[in-house]
Amino acid sequence: MLKKLSEKKVRAALETVLHPKTGKSIVSSGAISDVTISDGMVNITMQIDQGTAGIMDGVRKKCDEAVAKLSGVKSVRTVMTAHSGKTGQDKPSRPMPATPPAPPAPKPIPGIKHILAIASGKGGVGKSTTSINLAASFSKLGLKIGIMDCDIYGPSVQRMLGNDGGKPDFTSNDMIKPVERHGMKAMSMGYLIPEGRATVWRGPMVIGAVQQLLNGVAWTDDGDLDILIVDLPPGTGDAQLTLVQTVPLSGVVIVSTPQDIALIDARKAYDMFSKTSTPVLGMIENMSMFICPKCGERSDIFGHGGARETAKEKGIPFLGEIPLHMDIRTHADEGTPIVLTAPDSPHAEAYLSIAKSLMAKMPD
Ligand SMILES: Nc1ncnc2c1ncn2[C@@H]1O[C@H](COP(=O)(O)OP(=O)(O)OP(=O)(O)O)[C@@H](O)[C@H]1O
Ligand SMILES: [Mg+2]
Protein backbone atom coordinates (compact mmCIF):
# COMPACT_ATOMS: atom_id res chain seq x y z
CA MET A 1 0.00 0.00 0.00
CA LEU A 2 1.25 3.50 -0.85
CA LYS A 3 2.19 5.58 2.20
CA LYS A 4 0.75 9.12 2.25
CA LEU A 5 2.92 11.94 1.00
CA SER A 6 3.75 14.28 3.89
CA GLU A 7 5.72 17.45 4.56
CA LYS A 8 8.10 15.35 6.66
CA LYS A 9 8.88 13.13 3.65
CA VAL A 10 9.39 16.13 1.41
CA ARG A 11 11.78 17.69 3.92
CA ALA A 12 13.62 14.37 4.26
CA ALA A 13 14.06 14.25 0.47
CA LEU A 14 15.38 17.81 0.53
CA GLU A 15 18.01 16.78 3.12
CA THR A 16 19.93 15.24 0.21
CA VAL A 17 20.37 18.62 -1.49
CA LEU A 18 23.37 20.63 -0.29
CA HIS A 19 23.53 24.38 0.19
CA PRO A 20 26.53 25.70 -1.80
CA LYS A 21 27.41 28.26 0.89
CA THR A 22 27.19 26.16 4.06
CA GLY A 23 28.04 22.77 2.56
CA LYS A 24 25.22 21.38 4.74
CA SER A 25 21.80 20.25 3.62
CA ILE A 26 19.48 22.92 2.32
CA VAL A 27 17.04 22.06 5.12
CA SER A 28 19.49 22.27 8.02
CA SER A 29 20.85 25.50 6.51
CA GLY A 30 17.39 26.98 7.17
CA ALA A 31 16.73 27.83 3.52
CA ILE A 32 13.44 25.93 3.17
CA SER A 33 10.83 28.23 4.63
CA ASP A 34 7.63 26.60 3.49
CA VAL A 35 6.39 23.30 2.08
CA THR A 36 2.79 22.87 1.03
CA ILE A 37 1.19 19.77 -0.43
CA SER A 38 -2.17 19.74 -2.11
CA ASP A 39 -3.43 16.70 -4.01
CA GLY A 40 0.10 15.50 -4.87
CA MET A 41 1.23 18.99 -5.94
CA VAL A 42 4.18 20.10 -3.85
CA ASN A 43 5.15 23.78 -3.52
CA ILE A 44 8.43 24.59 -1.82
CA THR A 45 9.60 28.07 -0.87
CA MET A 46 13.37 28.47 -0.70
CA GLN A 47 14.83 31.56 0.92
CA ILE A 48 17.95 32.91 -0.77
CA ASP A 49 20.21 35.92 -0.27
CA GLN A 50 19.71 38.75 -2.73
CA GLY A 51 21.96 38.49 -5.79
CA THR A 52 22.42 34.69 -5.49
CA ALA A 53 19.55 33.65 -7.76
CA GLY A 54 22.04 32.52 -10.45
CA ILE A 55 23.90 30.09 -8.14
CA MET A 56 20.78 28.96 -6.32
CA ASP A 57 18.86 28.13 -9.50
CA GLY A 58 20.85 24.88 -9.77
CA VAL A 59 19.89 24.07 -6.17
CA ARG A 60 16.25 24.82 -6.97
CA LYS A 61 16.34 22.26 -9.80
CA LYS A 62 17.95 19.67 -7.50
CA CYS A 63 15.16 20.25 -4.95
CA ASP A 64 12.57 19.65 -7.69
CA GLU A 65 14.35 16.46 -8.79
CA ALA A 66 14.77 15.09 -5.25
CA VAL A 67 11.12 15.58 -4.37
CA ALA A 68 9.79 14.40 -7.75
CA LYS A 69 11.19 10.92 -6.92
CA LEU A 70 8.84 10.53 -3.93
CA SER A 71 5.82 8.37 -4.51
CA GLY A 72 2.55 10.26 -4.73
CA VAL A 73 4.11 13.43 -6.16
CA LYS A 74 2.25 14.68 -9.24
CA SER A 75 4.16 17.93 -9.59
CA VAL A 76 6.76 19.86 -7.69
CA ARG A 77 7.68 23.49 -7.86
CA THR A 78 10.39 25.23 -5.84
CA VAL A 79 10.09 29.01 -5.73
CA MET A 80 12.99 31.20 -4.64
CA THR A 81 12.27 34.17 -2.39
CA ALA A 82 14.92 36.85 -2.18
CA HIS A 83 16.25 37.60 1.27
CA SER A 84 17.45 41.19 1.56
CA GLY A 85 20.65 40.41 3.44
CA LYS A 86 22.24 38.64 6.37
CA THR A 87 20.26 38.09 9.52
CA GLY A 88 20.98 36.08 12.65
CA GLN A 89 24.38 35.90 14.27
CA ASP A 90 26.50 36.30 11.15
CA LYS A 91 28.74 39.33 11.47
CA PRO A 92 29.27 41.41 8.35
CA SER A 93 32.79 40.79 7.05
CA ARG A 94 33.20 44.49 6.28
CA PRO A 95 32.05 47.49 8.31
CA MET A 96 28.61 48.71 7.27
CA PRO A 97 28.72 51.87 5.17
CA ALA A 98 27.50 54.95 7.07
CA THR A 99 24.57 55.42 4.66
CA PRO A 100 22.97 52.38 3.06
CA PRO A 101 23.03 52.50 -0.74
CA ALA A 102 19.89 53.97 -2.30
CA PRO A 103 17.50 51.28 -3.58
CA PRO A 104 17.25 51.03 -7.37
CA ALA A 105 14.64 53.35 -8.91
CA PRO A 106 11.15 51.84 -9.23
CA LYS A 107 10.59 50.23 -12.63
CA PRO A 108 7.24 50.12 -14.42
CA ILE A 109 5.81 46.71 -15.33
CA PRO A 110 5.71 46.60 -19.14
CA GLY A 111 2.12 46.57 -20.41
CA ILE A 112 0.55 47.98 -17.22
CA LYS A 113 -0.51 51.59 -17.65
CA HIS A 114 -1.41 52.48 -14.06
CA ILE A 115 -0.72 50.93 -10.68
CA LEU A 116 -3.17 52.16 -8.07
CA ALA A 117 -2.79 51.21 -4.41
CA ILE A 118 -5.61 51.07 -1.87
CA ALA A 119 -4.28 51.80 1.60
CA SER A 120 -5.31 52.65 5.15
CA GLY A 121 -3.47 52.96 8.40
CA LYS A 122 -5.82 50.85 10.47
CA GLY A 123 -6.88 47.27 9.78
CA GLY A 124 -10.40 46.19 8.99
CA VAL A 125 -11.65 49.53 7.65
CA GLY A 126 -12.60 48.10 4.25
CA LYS A 127 -9.53 48.30 1.95
CA SER A 128 -10.13 44.90 0.39
CA THR A 129 -13.87 45.47 -0.02
CA THR A 130 -13.12 48.83 -1.63
CA SER A 131 -10.39 47.34 -3.84
CA ILE A 132 -12.59 44.66 -5.37
CA ASN A 133 -15.54 46.98 -5.86
CA LEU A 134 -13.43 49.72 -7.43
CA ALA A 135 -11.79 47.08 -9.63
CA ALA A 136 -15.23 45.86 -10.70
CA SER A 137 -16.31 49.47 -11.34
CA PHE A 138 -13.29 50.17 -13.56
CA SER A 139 -13.95 46.90 -15.36
CA LYS A 140 -17.59 47.93 -15.96
CA LEU A 141 -16.30 51.19 -17.37
CA GLY A 142 -14.46 49.14 -20.00
CA LEU A 143 -10.94 49.09 -18.54
CA LYS A 144 -8.70 46.00 -18.36
CA ILE A 145 -8.05 45.36 -14.70
CA GLY A 146 -5.71 43.31 -12.53
CA ILE A 147 -5.94 42.99 -8.74
CA MET A 148 -2.91 42.20 -6.68
CA ASP A 149 -3.37 41.29 -3.04
CA CYS A 150 -0.36 42.75 -1.26
CA ASP A 151 -1.51 41.43 2.10
CA ILE A 152 0.89 38.53 2.57
CA TYR A 153 -0.15 37.54 6.11
CA GLY A 154 -3.90 38.08 5.77
CA PRO A 155 -4.91 37.85 2.10
CA SER A 156 -8.59 38.44 1.29
CA VAL A 157 -8.82 38.83 -2.47
CA GLN A 158 -9.16 35.08 -3.11
CA ARG A 159 -12.24 35.15 -0.84
CA MET A 160 -13.78 38.37 -2.07
CA LEU A 161 -13.37 37.50 -5.76
CA GLY A 162 -14.04 33.80 -5.29
CA ASN A 163 -11.77 30.84 -5.67
CA ASP A 164 -12.62 27.94 -7.94
CA GLY A 165 -10.27 25.74 -5.93
CA GLY A 166 -7.78 25.29 -8.79
CA LYS A 167 -4.13 25.99 -8.19
CA PRO A 168 -2.48 28.74 -10.20
CA ASP A 169 -0.55 27.56 -13.22
CA PHE A 170 2.89 28.58 -14.37
CA THR A 171 3.94 29.86 -17.78
CA SER A 172 6.76 28.20 -19.73
CA ASN A 173 9.19 30.77 -18.30
CA ASP A 174 8.13 30.04 -14.71
CA MET A 175 5.92 33.08 -14.18
CA ILE A 176 2.75 32.58 -12.12
CA LYS A 177 -0.39 32.87 -14.27
CA PRO A 178 -2.92 35.20 -12.65
CA VAL A 179 -6.37 33.71 -12.08
CA GLU A 180 -9.29 35.09 -14.08
CA ARG A 181 -12.19 36.36 -11.93
CA HIS A 182 -15.21 38.25 -13.27
CA GLY A 183 -13.23 39.30 -16.35
CA MET A 184 -10.32 40.57 -14.26
CA LYS A 185 -6.87 39.15 -13.51
CA ALA A 186 -6.11 38.46 -9.88
CA MET A 187 -3.31 37.12 -7.73
CA SER A 188 -3.05 36.69 -3.99
CA MET A 189 -1.08 34.55 -1.55
CA GLY A 190 -4.53 33.16 -0.83
CA TYR A 191 -4.47 31.40 -4.21
CA LEU A 192 -0.99 29.97 -3.53
CA ILE A 193 -1.23 28.81 0.08
CA PRO A 194 -4.02 26.57 1.39
CA GLU A 195 -6.71 28.40 3.39
CA GLY A 196 -6.12 28.21 7.12
CA ARG A 197 -2.38 27.92 6.73
CA ALA A 198 -0.53 30.82 8.34
CA THR A 199 2.29 32.55 6.49
CA VAL A 200 4.98 32.60 9.17
CA TRP A 201 7.55 34.76 7.46
CA ARG A 202 10.00 37.39 8.55
CA GLY A 203 10.03 40.83 6.95
CA PRO A 204 12.66 40.07 4.25
CA MET A 205 10.49 37.25 2.93
CA VAL A 206 7.50 39.55 2.74
CA ILE A 207 9.65 41.87 0.65
CA GLY A 208 10.47 38.96 -1.69
CA ALA A 209 6.83 37.90 -1.89
CA VAL A 210 5.62 41.40 -2.80
CA GLN A 211 8.31 41.67 -5.48
CA GLN A 212 7.30 38.30 -6.83
CA LEU A 213 3.60 39.21 -6.92
CA LEU A 214 4.52 42.31 -8.93
CA ASN A 215 7.22 41.01 -11.26
CA GLY A 216 6.83 37.22 -11.09
CA VAL A 217 3.19 37.16 -12.21
CA ALA A 218 2.36 37.10 -15.93
CA TRP A 219 -0.05 40.03 -15.59
CA THR A 220 0.04 41.00 -19.25
CA ASP A 221 0.48 37.68 -21.11
CA ASP A 222 -3.10 37.90 -22.44
CA GLY A 223 -2.98 41.62 -23.15
CA ASP A 224 -2.09 44.93 -21.54
CA LEU A 225 -3.77 46.14 -18.35
CA ASP A 226 -5.14 49.64 -17.87
CA ILE A 227 -4.95 49.46 -14.08
CA LEU A 228 -3.38 47.08 -11.61
CA ILE A 229 -5.13 47.65 -8.27
CA VAL A 230 -3.00 46.77 -5.27
CA ASP A 231 -4.87 45.92 -2.08
CA LEU A 232 -2.47 46.78 0.74
CA PRO A 233 -2.33 45.39 4.27
CA PRO A 234 -2.85 47.88 7.13
CA GLY A 235 0.02 49.98 8.38
CA THR A 236 3.14 51.51 6.94
CA GLY A 237 5.54 48.58 6.89
CA ASP A 238 7.50 46.30 4.60
CA ALA A 239 4.71 45.69 2.08
CA GLN A 240 3.99 49.40 1.54
CA LEU A 241 7.65 50.33 1.33
CA THR A 242 8.49 47.49 -1.04
CA LEU A 243 5.60 48.43 -3.30
CA VAL A 244 6.66 52.07 -3.66
CA GLN A 245 10.31 51.11 -4.12
CA THR A 246 9.62 48.42 -6.74
CA VAL A 247 7.12 50.05 -9.10
CA PRO A 248 6.03 53.63 -9.83
CA LEU A 249 2.47 54.19 -8.59
CA SER A 250 -0.01 56.39 -10.43
CA GLY A 251 -1.43 57.03 -7.01
CA VAL A 252 -2.78 55.75 -3.75
CA VAL A 253 -6.27 55.99 -2.29
CA ILE A 254 -6.67 56.05 1.48
CA VAL A 255 -9.71 54.32 2.97
CA SER A 256 -10.86 55.15 6.49
CA THR A 257 -13.92 54.84 8.65
CA PRO A 258 -15.03 58.15 10.20
CA GLN A 259 -13.82 57.06 13.62
CA ASP A 260 -10.96 59.06 15.18
CA ILE A 261 -8.93 55.94 15.91
CA ALA A 262 -8.98 55.04 12.21
CA LEU A 263 -8.31 58.60 11.08
CA ILE A 264 -5.19 58.88 13.25
CA ASP A 265 -3.75 55.90 11.35
CA ALA A 266 -5.04 57.21 8.02
CA ARG A 267 -2.97 60.38 8.59
CA LYS A 268 0.10 58.19 9.20
CA ALA A 269 -0.54 56.41 5.90
CA TYR A 270 -0.87 59.80 4.18
CA ASP A 271 2.41 60.85 5.76
CA MET A 272 4.24 57.74 4.58
CA PHE A 273 3.05 58.06 0.99
CA SER A 274 3.86 61.78 0.95
CA LYS A 275 7.37 61.04 2.22
CA THR A 276 7.88 58.55 -0.58
CA SER A 277 6.57 61.06 -3.18
CA THR A 278 3.57 58.90 -4.05
CA PRO A 279 0.58 60.93 -5.28
CA VAL A 280 -2.32 60.55 -2.82
CA LEU A 281 -5.38 60.74 -5.08
CA GLY A 282 -7.86 61.09 -2.25
CA MET A 283 -9.72 59.59 0.68
CA ILE A 284 -12.83 57.40 0.86
CA GLU A 285 -15.02 57.24 3.95
CA ASN A 286 -16.16 53.64 4.37
CA MET A 287 -18.89 52.53 6.80
CA SER A 288 -19.90 56.17 6.64
CA MET A 289 -23.42 55.66 7.99
CA PHE A 290 -25.98 52.93 8.60
CA ILE A 291 -29.61 53.03 7.54
CA CYS A 292 -31.74 50.54 9.45
CA PRO A 293 -33.41 48.29 6.87
CA LYS A 294 -36.44 47.87 9.16
CA CYS A 295 -37.26 51.40 10.32
CA GLY A 296 -35.16 53.48 7.88
CA GLU A 297 -33.50 55.38 10.74
CA ARG A 298 -29.95 56.50 10.13
CA SER A 299 -27.23 55.77 12.70
CA ASP A 300 -23.66 57.03 12.39
CA ILE A 301 -22.12 53.98 14.04
CA PHE A 302 -18.51 55.08 13.54
CA GLY A 303 -19.32 58.81 13.34
CA HIS A 304 -19.69 60.67 10.06
CA GLY A 305 -17.67 63.12 8.01
CA GLY A 306 -14.27 62.54 9.65
CA ALA A 307 -12.58 61.38 6.44
CA ARG A 308 -13.93 64.38 4.51
CA GLU A 309 -12.47 66.69 7.18
CA THR A 310 -9.14 64.85 7.20
CA ALA A 311 -8.93 65.07 3.39
CA LYS A 312 -9.55 68.82 3.67
CA GLU A 313 -6.90 69.15 6.38
CA LYS A 314 -4.35 67.38 4.16
CA GLY A 315 -5.38 69.23 1.01
CA ILE A 316 -6.33 66.07 -0.88
CA PRO A 317 -9.60 65.27 -2.67
CA PHE A 318 -12.44 63.59 -0.79
CA LEU A 319 -13.64 60.85 -3.13
CA GLY A 320 -16.91 59.72 -1.55
CA GLU A 321 -18.80 57.88 1.16
CA ILE A 322 -19.74 54.21 1.25
CA PRO A 323 -22.40 53.25 3.81
CA LEU A 324 -22.19 50.30 6.17
CA HIS A 325 -24.58 47.86 4.56
CA MET A 326 -25.10 44.15 4.94
CA ASP A 327 -25.31 43.56 1.16
CA ILE A 328 -21.81 44.98 0.65
CA ARG A 329 -20.50 42.44 3.14
CA THR A 330 -22.53 39.44 1.96
CA HIS A 331 -21.69 39.89 -1.73
CA ALA A 332 -17.98 40.22 -0.89
CA ASP A 333 -18.17 37.08 1.28
CA GLU A 334 -19.75 35.24 -1.64
CA GLY A 335 -16.89 36.24 -3.93
CA THR A 336 -19.02 38.49 -6.10
CA PRO A 337 -18.53 42.26 -5.66
CA ILE A 338 -21.83 44.15 -5.19
CA VAL A 339 -20.95 46.39 -8.14
CA LEU A 340 -21.39 43.34 -10.40
CA THR A 341 -24.22 41.52 -8.65
CA ALA A 342 -26.44 44.47 -7.76
CA PRO A 343 -25.36 47.04 -10.36
CA ASP A 344 -28.44 49.21 -9.84
CA SER A 345 -28.03 49.47 -6.07
CA PRO A 346 -27.05 52.85 -4.59
CA HIS A 347 -23.89 51.18 -3.25
CA ALA A 348 -22.78 50.11 -6.72
CA GLU A 349 -23.44 53.67 -7.89
CA ALA A 350 -21.33 55.06 -5.06
CA TYR A 351 -18.36 52.87 -6.05
CA LEU A 352 -18.85 53.68 -9.73
CA SER A 353 -18.86 57.40 -9.08
CA ILE A 354 -15.60 57.12 -7.08
CA ALA A 355 -14.05 55.08 -9.92
CA LYS A 356 -15.03 57.77 -12.44
CA SER A 357 -13.47 60.53 -10.40
CA LEU A 358 -10.30 58.47 -9.94
CA MET A 359 -10.06 57.92 -13.71
CA ALA A 360 -10.05 61.68 -14.15
CA LYS A 361 -7.26 62.04 -11.57
CA MET A 362 -4.84 59.49 -13.02
CA PRO A 363 -2.22 60.80 -15.43
CA ASP A 364 -2.78 59.95 -19.16
N1 LIG B 1 -19.24 49.27 3.55
C2 LIG B 1 -19.31 48.11 4.17
N3 LIG B 1 -20.50 47.62 4.59
C4 LIG B 1 -20.57 46.43 5.25
N5 LIG B 1 -19.52 45.66 5.52
C6 LIG B 1 -18.31 46.11 5.12
C7 LIG B 1 -18.14 47.33 4.41
N8 LIG B 1 -16.82 47.49 4.13
C9 LIG B 1 -16.20 46.40 4.63
N10 LIG B 1 -17.09 45.58 5.24
C11 LIG B 1 -16.80 44.33 5.94
O12 LIG B 1 -15.89 44.65 6.99
C13 LIG B 1 -14.90 43.65 7.13
C14 LIG B 1 -13.52 44.27 6.91
O15 LIG B 1 -13.44 44.71 5.57
P16 LIG B 1 -12.14 44.48 4.69
O17 LIG B 1 -11.62 43.09 4.83
O18 LIG B 1 -12.44 44.99 3.34
O19 LIG B 1 -11.16 45.47 5.47
P20 LIG B 1 -9.58 45.63 5.27
O21 LIG B 1 -9.27 47.06 5.57
O22 LIG B 1 -9.16 45.12 3.96
O23 LIG B 1 -9.05 44.70 6.42
P24 LIG B 1 -7.52 44.25 6.64
O25 LIG B 1 -6.85 45.42 7.29
O26 LIG B 1 -7.64 43.07 7.55
O27 LIG B 1 -6.94 43.95 5.30
C28 LIG B 1 -15.24 42.58 6.11
O29 LIG B 1 -15.99 41.59 6.76
C30 LIG B 1 -16.09 43.30 5.08
O31 LIG B 1 -17.04 42.44 4.45
MG1 LIG C 1 -7.69 43.64 3.50
> Does residue 334 have its Cβ closer than 6 Å to ligand 1?
no
Compute, in angstroms, the gap from residue 235 CA to the centroid of ligand 2. 11
In this structure, whether the domain defined by 8-83 belongs to CATH 3.30.390.30 is answered with: no
- Which atom of ligand 1 is found nearest the CA of 333? 31
Helix (H) or strand (E) holding 140: helix 127-140
Contact present, 152 and 199 (Cβ < 8 Å)? yes
Domain ranges for the chain? 8-83, 112-361
Compute, in angstroms, the gap from residue 330 CA to the centroid of ligand 1. 11
> Does residue 233 have its Cβ closer than 6 Å to ligand 1?
yes
Compute, in angstroms, the gap from residue 280 CA to the centroid of ligand 2. 19
Question: How would CATH label the architecture of 112-361?
Answer: 3-Layer(aba) Sandwich (3.40)
Give the separation between CA 133 and CA 6, rounded to whole angstroms.
Answer: 39
- Which atom of ligand 1 is found nearest the CA of 332? 31
Compute, in angstroms, the gap from residue 232 CA to the centroid of ligand 2. 7
Give the separation between CA 316 and CA 350, rounded to whole angstroms.
Answer: 19
Q: Which amino acid is at 278?
A: T
Query: Chain-centre distance of CA 244, in angstroms?
Result: 13
Contact present, 79 and 45 (Cβ < 8 Å)? yes
Give the separation between CA 341 and CA 336, rounded to whole angstroms.
Answer: 7
Contact present, 283 and 307 (Cβ < 8 Å)? yes
Residue ID of nearest Cα to ligand 1 atom 15: 126
Task: Walk along the chain (364 residues) and give the pLDDT tens digit of each residue.
Answer: 456 899 999 999 999 999 988 899 999 999 998 888 888 888 888 888 877 877 888 898 899 999 999 998 888 888 877 765 444 334 344 444 455 555 678 999 999 999 999 999 899 999 999 999 999 999 999 999 999 999 999 999 999 999 877 777 889 888 999 999 999 999 999 998 877 777 777 777 889 999 999 999 999 999 999 999 999 999 998 999 999 999 999 999 999 999 999 999 999 999 999 988 899 999 999 999 998 888 989 899 998 999 999 999 999 999 999 999 999 999 999 999 999 999 999 999 999 999 999 999 987 7
Question: Are the folds of 8-83 and 112-361 the same?
Answer: no
Helix (H) or strand (E) holding 264: helix 260-275
Buried b / exposed e along 278-316 (16+ C-beta atoms within 10 A): bebbbbbbbbbbbeeeeeeeeeeebbbebbbebbeebeb
> Does residue 126 have its Cβ closer than 6 Å to ligand 1?
yes
pTM of the model: 0.77
